[in-house]
A and B are shown apart, each in its own frame.
Chain A
Amino acid sequence: MSEPKITITIDDQEYKVNSGQMLIEATDQLGIHIPRFCYHEKLSIAANCRMCLVEVENSTNALPACATEVSEGMVVKTTSESAELAQQATMEFLLINHPLDCPICDQGGECELQDLAYSHGRNESRFEVKKRTLPDDNLGPLISTDMTRCILCTRCVRFGTEIAGLPELGTIGRGESSTISTFVEKTVDHELSGNMIDICPVGALNNKPYRYTDRTWELDQIESVSPHDCVGSNMFLHVKGDKIKRIVPKANPEINEVWISDRDRFAFDGIYSDDRLTVPMLRKNGVLEEATWEEAIDAFSKVLITLQNKKSKNGVAALISSSTALNEQYLYAYLMRSLGFNNIDHRIRQIDFTGDSLDPIFPNFDIKPHQIENMKSILIIGSDLRKETPLIAHWVKKAADQGASVNFINQEYSEYYFPIDNFILSGQEALAENLALVLKASNDDAVNKLPSHIEDVLNALPTPSLSHYQIAKSLANHEQSFLLSGLLCHSHSEYALIRSYLNLLSYVSNSSFGELTHGANATGAYLTGCIPHRKAFGESHELGLNALEMCTKNHQLIVLYGIEPEDCLYQEKLNQSIVGSQTTVQFSPFITPFMKENADIMFPLKTPYESKGAFINASGMIQDFNLQLDLAKDNPSNQELLLQIIEGSKLPMPSLDNLKEKIKKFIDETKNTHNRLLEIPEKVLKTTKNYSSVSSHLYDVDSITRRSRPLQQTKDALSQFSEDQ
């Protein structure tokens, strides 16, 4: 959509700009800098800081560039005497009550107020009376407050109202006694709250765990990708020496806009946990002892070679985390497959595997995250969306705020801060049926009719309710419609059936379909063959045991790569399997008492924060991360470790050359050729139903998050703890 261009003059030069935008948007695009505090491109306009005042011809007063719409023939002076005088006036007013404690302020060096004070401030203050001070609020474990530094730009307030949808902070009081506050003392708990730290232009809201630890100008900035969910939020790691100090968002308009979730921001603290494993461990004479890398690799290789030569190759169980980097997944699958071990899986939070043969090449997510915003009708099934993927919830909120009809079919009710049209609260046992009823309602007047044998299945169901019809109608009436299946579906005992229904519904209603997956790289796990039913690149293969089957058996060897039993939905089963198996090998960044007791060989892993690799997010977007920190001197990288084990196992060395490119090409080729399976296979329909309650915990998704001290002190984590008691 190209808007008509109009001509305006800025600082004696003519420019063509789009009509309908504010002056500051135009100057930002043109690279002309106008100072500002309250203006933020993602927030509504407040025009309260008065820093962006500029001279506009035919206006007696200076006008705020953030709230002045461009118009044909407008003549603007951003640096004229009157503009500068107005800006200097604002700066002086802002500084009179500001503590000017830059030397001890964490914002120092990256402070918008400090920067502009250099260009627009006076050398010395004319304000001789006592400065205003304000008490600080305790906003919880993530955000520190120094309210005396606050310049009342209200960005944080608008963030709460407009982005989070939960107005946790507001302005109270009048005039000079105005303050930003929660009003009734409480913590700030929204899962995106950490972004307030970034948008605060001064040091009033700061990163609490990072507080007083370092000066920002001593930090290096490294691009990275969040390893905690399937969204793949882009972020910057701020590193000093070998230590990550903090994390901030990196803008990616297709994935995470300019935000990251608190989990993305604060989870990294977990890698500095006390139970970090830094040296290999080997059980000698019944005691797990420190060993050299050679010893450990040698011991593991020997076990592998021995088992390879045995007949019962099924005696090996190989589990791997879905948050493992692509190259590691590939090598791990290569190692196991080459030795003839077929029991390999990453789906440790899935219990229904009856649909495996119908699995797409990799879990589908037809659109990119940002395209959710354009959807006009969205049906979310089986998802605690805000906790599973805070950023996907953000995009859904944006769609809802723009009038999209958002509907849920869910086991439990959680609070959403956007309008919801229909919320069908359904027990575990009725989740699939409720979805089927929407399908039935959709089929009634669909263009794409279902095959008659499926209609027969639907006809056996009760009559859909008004809500089912409304959802069906909304999906049918909007070209931009989207079905989103959440992690609770994934862990549901009728997962395969639900997915079949979703495929059918997607066909009938002509909707896009997206499936959230556990971990940061489930897509990669599918593509590299970390599943029992396929090899890399979707090649079919002799069927091995799935994760649940592996966990319900004892083995000659069980290998856990990047996972802890706590990550597993059936932790108890896995624990028993570990105890009952002959040899247990764990690759892990951490060592737990249970594993110390039961593991025979342990290899320290570098976390995704410390290593090099790539994740493929739910939408099939491959993203690199590359920060190679020295965990302990001379430790090999995860990739080197796997290669050494492959070498020790006397296998030909695999080529990692162009792996990423090959996978990308493969994704591009297969993504759009995928046909919706218009079938509900008999065995899927006849699943034995064994419902167990599953809930998603925001801060218990992986070993790192579990160990993050700030996250574990949040209300979310604490309330989960009390739930578990």
Chain B
Amino acid sequence: MMHENSICFSNINQPESWKIENYMASGGYLQWKKILQGQPGDKARQKIVEIIKTSGLRGRGGAGFPTGLKWSFMPKTTEQKYLVCNSDESEPGTCHDREILKLNPHAVIEGMAIAGFAMDATVGYNYVRGEFIKDCYPIVEFALQEAYTHNLLGKNILGSGVNFDLYNFLGAGAYICGEETGLLESLEGKQGKPRFKPPFPAKFGVYGMPTTVNNTQTLASVPKIIEQGTEWYKSMGTDKSPGTNIFSVTGHVNKPGNYELPLGIPFADLLERAGGMLDNKKLKAVIPGGLSTKVLPGDVIADCTMDYESLASAGSALGTGAVVVIAEGTCMVELLKRSSRFYYVENCGQCTPCREGTGWLYRLLQKITQGKGQESDLTLLVDVANRIEGNTICAFGDAAAWPVQSFIEHYYSEFEYMINNHGKSIAA
């Protein structure tokens, strides 16, 4: 039996799952209370970090960095430390953090409280995507008030001597603020321009103090992992990609949606869960981890399992787990043009390669779709992408380059056809 909705989505089918009494009815906040009622000292902190390390939980923001290891980077000093939850979910195709925030906000709050305690960060910020202002943010705010009303946050929580204050912060709608240091700048009230690293946030984060930034799904997984134990967690997923992941399946499928499933499930199974291909069309390609991961042709992804290792060896990445399914008949040139426009519009403009290069990429693709392309433009496109990749302050440059490189690599003939036929698509 496949584990479905075991962690972040475990309670979402209950009515009014976002309310604290319902969350508590299914065991919510028990772990937090246990920590507070135990001996909340350095030993307890160490234990939690060990549990997360042992569980093998990896960051769900896209890079898949081991969460426990990240937590252990926080200095053991007495200075003010911060925990930041990255709810600025804006990778195209990704929509699971929104669901968590809407349906299970208390898991995020409890996860943050536990993580904050584990790292001795007494202040937490939940940076919520600006566009969530209407449907998500009120719920998150409501939940936060509930948690305070139940004395689960604040100073000397439940008489334990533990402090943890949590604040929600609404972004202003910039993709780049999802980059952790861009997010920190934005949180400080500045323009969302990523910082050069090192120093990393664990050394120099919000207001220059040690900070850990974790993704919403990562933090929401924490209470369940502590409740059920690492063995249970590792019983799902693969060796190197344990646990579950929420896949946001979009594109040409019958039932697009969020599916929380163990990592390592075959792509075919995931596709089946999502209702199979729309109109029974043939699978052409898949962008497996959000727009910024490399596209994989249908026959390549067909042999993949949905985990970090399998997708990496196929030449792409699990990323945010946003699976964009593309059916036959889709024009890859148009799709790339649309993707490139995103990076052209959303780059912060701070460093040269993105600021100048992304516009160049977009305009070259525009030229091709307008039927004015030349064969040499394809070499130029790849060359420009190569010149952006790896040369920028943050990973945005790589994200802008990879789609171009992979689309042209796998679908060269489509681009060539369009150039030779004055903008006519082979797919049409």
Residues of A bordering B, CB below 8 Å: 45, 47-51, 53, 60-62, 64, 67, 69, 85-86, 89-90, 92-94, 96-97, 126-127, 129, 132, 151-152, 171, 173-178
On whether the beta carbons of A90 and B391 are closer than 8 Å, the reply is yes
Closest 3 CB pairs of A and B: A178-B349, A89-B387, A93-B356
On whether the beta carbons of B387 and A67 are closer than 8 Å, the reply is no
Taking A47-B196, A47-B393, A129-B363 as contacts, is the C-beta distance between A94 and B352 under 8 angstroms?
Answer: yes
On whether the beta carbons of A176 and B352 are closer than 8 Å, the reply is no
On whether the beta carbons of A48 and B390 are closer than 8 Å, the reply is no
On whether the beta carbons of B348 and A174 are closer than 8 Å, the reply is yes
Taking A45-B196, A93-B357, A174-B174 as contacts, is the C-beta distance between A62 and B391 under 8 angstroms?
Answer: yes
In the assembled complex, how far is the CB of residue A629 from the closest CB belonging to chain B, in whole angstroms?
A: 44
**Least CB separation from B390: chain A residue:** A61
On whether the beta carbons of A93 and B349 are closer than 8 Å, the reply is no
On whether the beta carbons of B360 and A96 are closer than 8 Å, the reply is yes
10 A–B contacts from the bound complex (CB under 8 Å)? A49-B352, A62-B390, A86-B390, A90-B353, A129-B363, A175-B345, A175-B346, A175-B349, A177-B349, A178-B350
In the assembled complex, how far is the CB of residue B231 from the closest CB belonging to chain A, in whole angstroms?
A: 36
**Least CB separation from B367: chain A residue:** A129
On whether the beta carbons of A90 and B352 are closer than 8 Å, the reply is yes
Is B427 positioned at the interface, with any CB of A under 8 Å from its CB?
A: no
In the assembled complex, how far is the CB of residue A25 from the closest CB belonging to chain B, in whole angstroms?
A: 16
Is B359 positioned at the interface, with any CB of A under 8 Å from its CB?
A: yes
In the assembled complex, how far is the CB of residue A378 from the closest CB belonging to chain B, in whole angstroms?
A: 26
Inter-chain CA distance A51–B353, complex, in Å, is: 10
Inter-chain CA distance A47–B358, complex, in Å, is: 19
Taking A127-B360, A152-B349, A171-B191 as contacts, is the C-beta distance between A176 and B355 under 8 angstroms?
Answer: yes
Given contacts A129-B363, A175-B359, A176-B344, 17 further A-B contacts (CB under 8 A): A48-B352, A50-B353, A53-B391, A61-B390, A62-B391, A89-B387, A90-B353, A90-B391, A92-B387, A93-B353, A93-B355, A93-B357, A96-B360, A152-B349, A173-B349, A174-B174, A175-B358
On whether the beta carbons of A126 and B355 are closer than 8 Å, the reply is no
**Chain A interface mostly helix, strand, loop or mixed?**
loop
Residues of B within 8 A of A51 (CB): 352
Give the residues from 284 to 343 in chain B that come closer than 8 angstroms, CB to CB, to chain A.
Answer: none
**Least CB separation from A59: chain B residue:** B390
**Least CB separation from A127: chain B residue:** B360
Give the residues from 255 to 287 in chain B that come closer than 8 angstroms, CB to CB, to chain A.
Answer: none
Residues of A within 8 A of B133 (CB): none
Is B72 positioned at the interface, with any CB of A under 8 Å from its CB?
A: no
Inter-chain CA distance A377–B348, complex, in Å, is: 42
Residues of A within 8 A of B390 (CB): 60-62, 86
**Least CB separation from B196: chain A residue:** A47
Residues of A within 8 A of B360 (CB): 93, 96, 127, 129
Is B12 positioned at the interface, with any CB of A under 8 Å from its CB?
A: no
**Least CB separation from A132: chain B residue:** B359
Inter-chain CA distance A69–B199, complex, in Å, is: 10
In the assembled complex, how far is the CB of residue B36 from the closest CB belonging to chain A, in whole angstroms?
A: 40
Inter-chain CA distance A94–B352, complex, in Å, is: 7
Inter-chain CA distance A110–B427, complex, in Å, is: 53
**Least CB separation from A67: chain B residue:** B196
In the assembled complex, how far is the CB of residue A36 from the closest CB belonging to chain B, in whole angstroms?
A: 12
Residues of B within 8 A of A85 (CB): 387
Residues of A within 8 A of B353 (CB): 50, 89-90, 93
Is B157 positioned at the interface, with any CB of A under 8 Å from its CB?
A: no
Residues of A within 8 A of B253 (CB): none
On whether the beta carbons of A50 and B352 are closer than 8 Å, the reply is yes
Is B380 positioned at the interface, with any CB of A under 8 Å from its CB?
A: yes
On whether the beta carbons of B393 and A176 are closer than 8 Å, the reply is no
Is B392 positioned at the interface, with any CB of A under 8 Å from its CB?
A: yes
Most buried by B among A51, A85, A176, A178: A176
**Least CB separation from B366: chain A residue:** A129
Residues of A within 8 A of B356 (CB): 93-94, 96-97, 176
Is B351 positioned at the interface, with any CB of A under 8 Å from its CB?
A: yes
Inter-chain CA distance A481–B286, complex, in Å, is: 69
Inter-chain CA distance A49–B391, complex, in Å, is: 10
In the assembled complex, how far is the CB of residue A150 from the closest CB belonging to chain B, in whole angstroms?
A: 11
Is B230 positioned at the interface, with any CB of A under 8 Å from its CB?
A: no
In the assembled complex, how far is the CB of residue A158 from the closest CB belonging to chain B, in whole angstroms?
A: 13
On whether the beta carbons of A89 and B349 are closer than 8 Å, the reply is no
In the assembled complex, how far is the CB of residue A643 from the closest CB belonging to chain B, in whole angstroms?
A: 60
Residues of A within 8 A of B359 (CB): 132, 175-176
Inter-chain CA distance A49–B353, complex, in Å, is: 8
Residues of B within 8 A of A48 (CB): 350-352, 393
In the assembled complex, how far is the CB of residue B267 from the closest CB belonging to chain A, in whole angstroms?
A: 28
Is B153 positioned at the interface, with any CB of A under 8 Å from its CB?
A: no
On whether the beta carbons of B355 and A175 are closer than 8 Å, the reply is yes
Inter-chain CA distance A175–B174, complex, in Å, is: 11
**Least CB separation from A130: chain B residue:** B363
Taking A92-B387, A96-B360 as contacts, is the C-beta distance between A126 and B346 under 8 angstroms?
Answer: no
Inter-chain CA distance A49–B352, complex, in Å, is: 5
Give the residues from 43 to 75 in chain B that come closer than 8 angstroms, CB to CB, to chain A.
Answer: none
**Least CB separation from A179: chain B residue:** B349
On whether the beta carbons of B391 and A174 are closer than 8 Å, the reply is no
In the assembled complex, how far is the CB of residue B246 from the closest CB belonging to chain A, in whole angstroms?
A: 30
In the assembled complex, how far is the CB of residue B340 from the closest CB belonging to chain A, in whole angstroms?
A: 12
Inter-chain CA distance A175–B360, complex, in Å, is: 12
Inter-chain CA distance A151–B351, complex, in Å, is: 10
In the assembled complex, how far is the CB of residue B326 from the closest CB belonging to chain A, in whole angstroms?
A: 27
Inter-chain CA distance A92–B356, complex, in Å, is: 9
Residues of B within 8 A of A90 (CB): 352-353, 391
Inter-chain CA distance A50–B380, complex, in Å, is: 20
Is B399 positioned at the interface, with any CB of A under 8 Å from its CB?
A: no
Residues of A within 8 A of B191 (CB): 171
On whether the beta carbons of B391 and A50 are closer than 8 Å, the reply is yes
Is B347 positioned at the interface, with any CB of A under 8 Å from its CB?
A: yes
In the assembled complex, how far is the CB of residue A225 from the closest CB belonging to chain B, in whole angstroms?
A: 39
Residues of A within 8 A of B121 (CB): none
Most buried by A among B191, B196, B348, B352: B352
In the assembled complex, how far is the CB of residue A103 from the closest CB belonging to chain B, in whole angstroms?
A: 23
On whether the beta carbons of B363 and A178 are closer than 8 Å, the reply is no
Give the residues from 367 to 412 in chain B that come closer than 8 angstroms, CB to CB, to chain A.
Answer: 367, 380, 387-388, 390-393
Residues of B within 8 A of A178 (CB): 348-350, 355
Inter-chain CA distance A85–B354, complex, in Å, is: 16
On whether the beta carbons of A174 and B349 are closer than 8 Å, the reply is yes
Residues of A within 8 A of B391 (CB): 50, 53, 61-62, 86, 89-90
Residues of B within 8 A of A127 (CB): 360
On whether the beta carbons of B380 and A176 are closer than 8 Å, the reply is no
Residues of A within 8 A of B367 (CB): 129
Most buried by B among A51, A97, A174: A174
**Least CB separation from A95: chain B residue:** B356
- The residue that B352 contacts in the complex, of A45, A67, A93, A129, with Cβ under 8 A, is A93
**Least CB separation from A96: chain B residue:** B356
Inter-chain CA distance A129–B348, complex, in Å, is: 22
Inter-chain CA distance A69–B392, complex, in Å, is: 17
- The residue that B351 contacts in the complex, of A49, A60, A61, A176, with Cβ under 8 A, is A49
Inter-chain CA distance A97–B345, complex, in Å, is: 16
Most buried by B among A48, A62, A151: A48
Residues of B within 8 A of A126 (CB): 380
Residues of B within 8 A of A94 (CB): 352, 356
On whether the beta carbons of A175 and B363 are closer than 8 Å, the reply is no
Inter-chain CA distance A51–B359, complex, in Å, is: 19
Give the residues from 169 to 189 in chain B that come closer than 8 angstroms, CB to CB, to chain A.
Answer: 174, 176
Inter-chain CA distance A143–B358, complex, in Å, is: 31
Residues of A within 8 A of B393 (CB): 47-48
Inter-chain CA distance A59–B360, complex, in Å, is: 27
On whether the beta carbons of A175 and B344 are closer than 8 Å, the reply is yes
Inter-chain CA distance A541–B387, complex, in Å, is: 77
**Least CB separation from B363: chain A residue:** A129
Residues of A within 8 A of B174 (CB): 174
In the assembled complex, how far is the CB of residue A407 from the closest CB belonging to chain B, in whole angstroms?
A: 27
In the assembled complex, how far is the CB of residue B206 from the closest CB belonging to chain A, in whole angstroms?
A: 19
Residues of A within 8 A of B345 (CB): 175
